[in-house]
Structure 1
Amino acid sequence: MNTSLNRVANESTVARDTAYYEENIGKVTTVDEFVDDYRLFSYAMKAYGLEDMTYAKAFMKKILESDLTDDSSFANSLTDTRYAEFAAAFNFSGETAKAQTSVQTDTLLAAYEDSFAAEEDAIQTEIDYYESKIGSITSVDQLIGNDRLRSYVLESFGLDATYTSKSYLKQVLTSDLSDTNSVANQASSDAWRELAASFNFNTDGSVNGSAQTSDQIEDLRLDYIYNASTYPSDLLYEANQAYWEKNAASVTTATELVSDERLLSYVKTAFGLRDTIMASSVASLMSNESFASVYGNTELLDYFNFETDGTVTSGESALSSDQITSLASKYKTAFQEDQQAAVDDALSNFETRIAAVTNIDDFLTTNSDYYESDDNTDNDDTYDEVTEIWDVALRAYGIDPDEVSMSELRKILASDVDDEDSYVNTLDDERYVNLVKAFNFNSEGEIEVPLLVQSENVINDYASAYTDQKTRFLEGTELDDAQEAADEEIEYYKTQMETITTLDQFLADERLTSFVLEAKGIDPESVTSEELRQMFESDLTDSKSYVNTLSDNTFAEIVASFNFDSEGNLSSDPVGTIQQRGGTLETVNKYLRQTLEEEQGDANEGVRLALYFQRMAPSITSAYDILGDDALLEFFNTAFSMSDYFSSQDVEKQASTVENFIDLEQLQDPEYVEKLVKRYTALYDTENGTTDSAALSILTGVNSISADTLLAVAQLSAK
């Protein structure tokens, strides 16, 4: 067969037409361009056995424009499956451009969720370091001279270490707080005075005893956790609870309590109050029954011991021990609910909005703009309660939003990571490179088709073929079970194929390689891993390369369907436009086969039928496929010496007869098909007085056995 096909391929006319097709199919971008180029169009039509319909351009345009994922589309509505097969060979609908694939989104969101645990670990690490070192500090210079200690102290009070000079910090820490003119007391923010009060440095920077007492160290720890946390973590919960228990009971008025931002936040969380509610209103809810009744929330009155004027009765405390315990339980429940909601809302918001992103500007749009433009009135969250999607992305890759401006972020996301001179690569920061890889933006800032090891359409074609292979001939519960198992494998295949970037990765996953082979009707057990590697490392343009010398050209088509370069890395070079490299190779192979059948049929119709049956056999799934195809029916009638009476029977009886003579489930077995072809050729040659079987010469290389001998063998095999 290979010899015969190679001979056909080398015929001058065929070679010219094939070269024209291979050179020009990649230049086509529209259906009109395709059907208007007669040489291209007629070549493809002949390849798929539709040569007689080449004139019907309008009809074929509807075929090519059909959505094959829609069962009711024009191509899928036709009983002749050749039209759907023809449409599947091309991609005029285009690949789907998207900001992220599902795997990219899942990977980013997993990293986002992991960042919370990483943040807790980082905070605890700094706490442990500080507390291990502060006991040995004997001067202000020692504290200021240690970058980690200095940053810890400043961040505990919400102060930026980047913009605070060491000299100013020293002046604050050595300030005399009893002197109203000292640096700490003259500072614009109370935070500086509070910072100075947290240490015991003399005005000359020395220490009498220790730099901090244990209470001061503990207070600083709680402050650090509060200011360093960007997420309601368990660590933050414990710090907030400790801060509440240490400070809430000692306040003397409701106003004093709500003037402390952290205590106010505790109350709002515990009672589910809106973030926007005024502090004075919260104070009234704690003390004023009339206000609470009008407001519609009297619950706070039971947890606090404030009088109507918001004061605490002399000799009592704002909360009793029982109230503190009861409120702690309430706070914990509410905090944990908010904790989960903070993640869920961010993830949901990201998944919803990233699906609608068409360019970088969409990605950088604020939630407020999104809700306004989409009129998202069903969303109960105000936009500022939901994390921006760029914040999610930056956090996932360990980037502080304050590190990068929006304009710089645009330049980063529009960079080509494969270009050494691109903007993102000049930053020499792997975090930003990983950020760019998580999205599919081009240099113009628009989304583009993700580069995958197999294109989205090819992946879908393989998935469909796999299902067909696994559900052939099955019915009832067996069909349902097989479909469920196939769906599970398809989900794995589609997900993993989005992660593969090298040949080694693909070959190392036996589940993937088996899927690909089985989708094409090949038993994975019949191919060793070494053979498979040789196939993928073959040069498809070299007719003498390993994969091109195999008797089954399906292997070359499989290799061509992957976007690997010669080094086995993911590359855009093999990717086609309206037809992938694998599709082009498959079209050429079909064209050569059709041409061979035509040429042999001109000399001997029996050869053509034998070749046709051999080609069609793997796709036959029922007796009606044979009965509905004149050529296949003629093959069957000859192979099994059916009389004219056979075709006059009821179609159900004809189908039963076909099933009695042919084991349909074995038609994917080349040896079984060859056995049927031998039987057919022996009987055909006998009926037509032929002594040398051209069909067998082409199909099996057998040319020395007489037709009479083959007939005798066939008759014996039938008994």
Structure 2
Amino acid sequence: MVLSTYSSYLTVNRDMKASLSKVESQAPVKRDTEYYEANIGKVKTVDDLLGDYRLYSYAMQAYGLGEMTYGKAFMRKVLDSDLSDSKSFANTLTDKRYLQMAQAFNFKGDAKVAQSTAQADSTTDAYKASFQTEETNIKTEAAYFASKIGAITNVDDLVNNTRLRTYVLDSAGLDTTFTSKAYLKQVLTSDLADPDSVANQAKNPAWKKLTGFFNFNADGTVNGQAQTADQTEDLKLDYVASMSTYPSATLLDANQRYWDKHVPQVQSAQDLVKDSRLVAYVKTAFGLNPTMLASSVASLMYSQNFAQTYGNTKLLDAFEFSSDGTLPAGTSAQTPAQMSAVAKQYTAEFRKDADKKIADAVTNYETRIAKMTKLDDFFVSNKKDDDKKNDEVSEVWDVALRAFGINPDEVSKSELKKILSSDVTDKKSYVNRLDDDRYVNLVKAFNFTADGGTEAPLTAQSQRMVAQVTADYKAVKLRALTGTAKENASKAADKEIAYYASTIAGIKTADQFLADSRLTKFVLEANGLDPKEVTTTDLRRMFKSDLSDPKSFVNTQSNGKFAEIVASFNFSAKGQLDATAAEGVQQRGAILETTNQYLQQTLEVQQGEQNDGVRLALYFKRKAPEITSPYSIISDKALFTFFKTAYNLPTAIGNIDVAKQADLVKKYIDVGKLGDPDYVDKIVKRFTALYDTQKNGPTSTSLSLLGRSASISADTLLAVAQLRAG
């Protein structure tokens, strides 16, 4: 008994996975697929692919282009196309099978950059966050010291507490690593009245100043408290100043407190500018050049001639100094009103300065990093002797190191160069031998190679794959829409595309990806899948599947799209970025798509050898979700044949105006519903019934007439076609 076309179609389509498995197990198919998978990774150029006939013909067959295998020159133009250029050769071809094949390969590779936009953004975000972290740490340590110092009754209690000892040394800007406990103890128990004491004999005056903050006896004991409240406060002000590397709110408060406490104690302008913190305060408050000599700052406070010559007399009114720079007996350097006014000026300038410094550093970093083509560029200074404007802008390495919690003084440039050219995947590499996660994370943030060049960053999805997914998403969202509806849908799609492209670039693990429902929804919809029908649990199991194991969870799904989705990401089964997934001219997802396409094409060809109607039905079923407009059907010979048969239309309608052909397609097919399997199945049933009727029935007189007539108008043809299909 001869089966109907629809019955034959159902036999194959009822369990498509089983049907494809049968094809896959056929010896010739198996050999060709194994050869493709084993050798496509060796291909580096278009010529490599075209030069290996087995690989080339396999790929051509996979994308339904077997009849064009001979056209190597034509295919070279297709594969050499810049897909980001809408006017490139592949993008301008009406037959989109060529574009699909071009999309499956990435001969040019992703852009080689020192840092991707996502990497640079992550670095500058960490840089900006480091300032808040620094401020928090300063507050934490100051609070800890204040809470403990009251209980200290012996110098040993202080020296033997690592946090307290570090705090004390940091406040004075002294070395915390190599200063011995014994020496620190000798300093803190020194008698400042004795010129021969350890503190007085120290070359660095900071030691003597540090001793003055404590009240230890020579034997290390205390009479009362180790510090008074004023001493604790003074030490804190020094600690904040010493540990602050940017103008924070905490530093602003500390500087103001320092000013309020010490200015009333000065006896002259010269006395004031001897204190570096006080003179820095004045420079900031009055917008003076940071490099201005202290003596010149003093002159601005009391010398009318100097102030007028310099062009700034504001300081004269802000202080009470006499014309010789001294203060009249019983007079303070500033009145309360003057102190208040200057404090307001200082606060305003300080905050403006803080924002500007960080913003300038980030802008400089982003500008410089975008132009880098080699590791040596990283170490080129933006500061020039004759360029005062850039003297205060942080260097690229300053920003990068700070972002990862590294003090530039910790590492030399030569050592940093060895670090950045290290391979973090090699356990014996220089950076890994340092056994410091900060440096490992620093290396991961850049794309420098061992020879000092740059490479494409390893991301969750390659640039080419992101471009393809976003293009597919937009095509799905705009399917069959026109006018205002299309315009609104396009804007909404562009918003989601922008979010996906920017967010996926910063994703480092499968868990991060799966935790963002907006990302997973985007990917599923781009692949024609309904997010509501896929649970988060199942998605997690899919991404944890071993793609090389045919029995893994993702590979046992009835819809092979899920395996292609997982493979399109550069994650290992453990959910970590895997460089091997992105190697070669085909990412592993593209390889899987190609082999799946090959099996599908082979199945359809084999079915067509027995019944061409089954081949056309299977082809329409497969391509239906990709059809975005009537022109998708008109431009595809097989789809157009299917359409004409399904609606009993004469072959000659192919001769009428294309726009009218499109109108005819819209009349009978709702392109917007082609993502609905039930709707597609109804069309397939119609096609198979009419296919059998036309194949087995008598030749239509009208068809014969239309086939012979060259003089009948397009409008007449269209009218006859509509009557026939009605």
Q: TM-score range by the shorter chain?
A: 0.7 to 0.9
Give the 3-state SS of the residue equivalent to 1:668 in structure 2: coil
What is the CA-CA distance between 1:321 and the residue it aligns to? 1.4
What is the CA-CA distance between 1:502 and the residue it aligns to? 4.5
Higher relative contact order (CA 8 A, sep 6+): 2
In structure 1, what is the equivalent of residue 529 of structure 2?
Answer: 522
What is the CA-CA distance between 1:11 and the residue it aligns to? 4.3
Does structure 1 conserve the Cα–Cα contact (< 8 Å) formed by 2:264 and 2:334?
Answer: yes
1:318 and 2:333 correspond = yes
Give the 3-state SS of the residue equivalent to 2:277 in structure 1: helix
In structure 2, what is the equivalent of residue 327 of structure 1?
Answer: 342
C-alpha change, 1:246 and 1:673, in structure 2 (3 Å) is same
* CA distance in structure 1 between the aligned counterparts of 2:456 and 2:657, rounded to whole angstroms: 52
* CA distance in structure 2 between the aligned counterparts of 1:178 and 1:646, rounded to whole angstroms: 112
5 Å-filtered alignment, 1:296-695, equals: 296-368=311-383, 381-383=389-391, 385-533=392-540, 535-536=542-543, 538-541=545-548, 547-548=554-555, 550-643=557-650, 646=653, 650-689=657-696
In structure 1, what is the equivalent of residue 708 of structure 2?
Answer: none
* CA distance in structure 2 between the aligned counterparts of 1:457 and 1:645, rounded to whole angstroms: 41
* CA distance in structure 2 between the aligned counterparts of 1:182 and 1:266, rounded to whole angstroms: 34
5 Å-filtered alignment, 1:149-188, equals: 149-188=164-203
TM-score by length of 1: 0.86
The correspondence for 2:77, drawn from 62, 68, 77, is 62
Does structure 2 conserve the Cα–Cα contact (< 8 Å) formed by 1:398 and 1:431?
Answer: yes
Which AA in structure 2 matches 1:24?
N
Residue deviations 1:496-530 (CA, integer Å, cap 9, x gap): 43454554554444333322221111112233445
C-alpha change, 1:288 and 1:56, in structure 2 (3 Å) is farther
* CA distance in structure 2 between the aligned counterparts of 1:4 and 1:135, rounded to whole angstroms: 82
Does structure 2 conserve the Cα–Cα contact (< 8 Å) formed by 1:98 and 1:358?
Answer: yes
Does structure 2 conserve the Cα–Cα contact (< 8 Å) formed by 1:249 and 1:320?
Answer: no
What is the CA-CA distance between 1:243 and the residue it aligns to? 1.1
* CA distance in structure 2 between the aligned counterparts of 1:398 and 1:644, rounded to whole angstroms: 72
Q: Percent identity?
A: 56
* CA distance in structure 1 between the aligned counterparts of 2:228 and 2:488, rounded to whole angstroms: 69
Q: Which moved more, 1:114-123 or 1:647-656?
A: 647-656
* CA distance in structure 2 between the aligned counterparts of 1:536 and 1:145, rounded to whole angstroms: 52
Does structure 1 conserve the Cα–Cα contact (< 8 Å) formed by 2:167 and 2:239?
Answer: yes
Residue deviations 1:519-544 (CA, integer Å, cap 9, x gap): 11111223344544554455544556
Does structure 1 conserve the Cα–Cα contact (< 8 Å) formed by 2:422 and 2:449?
Answer: yes
Does structure 1 conserve the Cα–Cα contact (< 8 Å) formed by 2:105 and 2:585?
Answer: yes
Does structure 1 conserve the Cα–Cα contact (< 8 Å) formed by 2:135 and 2:250?
Answer: yes
The correspondence for 1:276, drawn from 269, 291, 299, is 291
What is the CA-CA distance between 1:150 and the residue it aligns to? 3.4
What is the CA-CA distance between 1:587 and the residue it aligns to? 1.7
C-alpha change, 1:159 and 1:566, in structure 2 (3 Å) is closer
What is the CA-CA distance between 1:407 and the residue it aligns to? 3.8
C-alpha change, 1:534 and 1:310, in structure 2 (3 Å) is closer
Give the 3-state SS of the residue equivalent to 1:290 in structure 2: helix
What is the CA-CA distance between 1:389 and the residue it aligns to? 3.1
Residue deviations 1:37-88 (CA, integer Å, cap 9, x gap): 2222222223223334434333322322222112232322333333322211
Q: Which moved more, 1:221-230 or 1:41-50?
A: 41-50
The gaps in structure 1 that reach 5 residues or longer are 692-717
Give the 3-state SS of the residue equivalent to 2:377 in structure 1: helix
C-alpha change, 1:128 and 1:683, in structure 2 (3 Å) is closer
* CA distance in structure 2 between the aligned counterparts of 1:686 and 1:480, rounded to whole angstroms: 43
Give the 3-state SS of the residue equivalent to 2:47 in structure 1: helix
Residue deviations 1:310-340 (CA, integer Å, cap 9, x gap): 3334443322211111000000011111122
In structure 1, what is the equivalent of residue 136 of structure 2?
Answer: 121
TM-score by length of 2: 0.85
In structure 1, what is the equivalent of residue 207 of structure 2?
Answer: 192
Q: Which moved more, 1:350-359 or 1:459-468?
A: 350-359
* CA distance in structure 2 between the aligned counterparts of 1:58 and 1:643, rounded to whole angstroms: 36
1:90 and 2:105 correspond = yes
Does structure 2 conserve the Cα–Cα contact (< 8 Å) formed by 1:565 and 1:573?
Answer: no
Give the 3-state SS of the residue equivalent to 2:81 in structure 1: coil
Residue deviations 1:160-213 (CA, integer Å, cap 9, x gap): 233334444444444444444444333323323333333344555554444444
Give the 3-state SS of the residue equivalent to 1:355 in structure 2: helix
Q: Which moved more, 1:481-490 or 1:318-327?
A: 481-490
Give the 3-state SS of the residue equivalent to 1:399 in structure 2: coil
Does structure 1 conserve the Cα–Cα contact (< 8 Å) formed by 2:447 and 2:454?
Answer: yes
* CA distance in structure 2 between the aligned counterparts of 1:427 and 1:637, rounded to whole angstroms: 70
C-alpha change, 1:145 and 1:677, in structure 2 (3 Å) is closer
The gaps in structure 2 that reach 5 residues or longer are 1-11, 699-724
Residue deviations 1:404-450 (CA, integer Å, cap 9, x gap): 33344344444444444444444444433433333334444543333
* CA distance in structure 2 between the aligned counterparts of 1:529 and 1:180, rounded to whole angstroms: 75
Which AA in structure 1 matches 2:347?
K
* CA distance in structure 1 between the aligned counterparts of 2:145 and 2:573, rounded to whole angstroms: 54
What is the CA-CA distance between 1:605 and the residue it aligns to? 4.2
Which AA in structure 2 matches 1:665?
G
Does structure 1 conserve the Cα–Cα contact (< 8 Å) formed by 2:95 and 2:635?
Answer: no
Does structure 1 conserve the Cα–Cα contact (< 8 Å) formed by 2:633 and 2:639?
Answer: yes
Q: Which moved more, 1:120-129 or 1:516-525?
A: 120-129
Does structure 2 conserve the Cα–Cα contact (< 8 Å) formed by 1:305 and 1:312?
Answer: yes
C-alpha change, 1:8 and 1:176, in structure 2 (3 Å) is closer
Residue deviations 1:380-405 (CA, integer Å, cap 9, x gap): 7324x122333333333333333333
What is the CA-CA distance between 1:566 and the residue it aligns to? 4.0
Which AA in structure 2 matches 1:398?
G
C-alpha change, 1:442 and 1:652, in structure 2 (3 Å) is closer
Regions of 4+ moved over 6 Å: none
The total of aligned residue pairs comes to 685
Give the 3-state SS of the residue equivalent to 1:381 in structure 2: helix
Does structure 1 conserve the Cα–Cα contact (< 8 Å) formed by 2:94 and 2:635?
Answer: no
Which AA in structure 2 matches 1:310?
G
What is the CA-CA distance between 1:588 and the residue it aligns to? 2.2
C-alpha change, 1:140 and 1:610, in structure 2 (3 Å) is closer
* CA distance in structure 2 between the aligned counterparts of 1:147 and 1:10, rounded to whole angstroms: 69
Which AA in structure 2 matches 1:624?
Y
Which AA in structure 1 matches 2:633?
I
* CA distance in structure 2 between the aligned counterparts of 1:539 and 1:220, rounded to whole angstroms: 60
Which AA in structure 1 matches 2:279?
L
